[in-house]
Amino acid sequence: MRAAAREGRQESFRTDIERLTSRTGNRTPLSMVTATNRVACLRGAIAESEHTATAASLKRYLEDGLSTKDIHLDITVSIDH
């Protein structure tokens, strides 16, 4: 997953990424691959479900989950099998 800071939310970007990579509150925390002050590349294992059938459905699922945690990032998702 590639996560980018949204316009107007750059000040919370690092905190949002730390929350994503923390084991607290996440069933499957993500691992940081690389990051700058505005963009981060993360990876993690996911279980197969209707939400993970396509990259588009996974993106929608993740965006919905992140917004409920007040994490606002622009994300791009790719699924490697």
Give the pLDDT confidence of 37-80 residue by residue, as tens digits. 899 999 988 888 888 889 999 999 888 988 888 888 999 999 88
Q: With bands split at pLDDT 50, 70 and 90, how would you rate the model's confidence at 28?
A: low
Q: Does residue 14 form part of some domain?
A: yes
24: pLDDT strictly greater than 80: no
Residue 52's domain comprises 2-76
Q: DSSP letter for 25, please.
A: T
- What pLDDT is stored for residue 48 in this prediction? 84
Question: pTM score, two decimals?
Answer: 0.78
Q: Does residue 31 form part of some domain?
A: yes
Q: Does residue 81 form part of some domain?
A: no
Tell me how many domains the chain contains. 1
More confident residue, 20 or 25: 20
Q: Does residue 64 form part of some domain?
A: yes
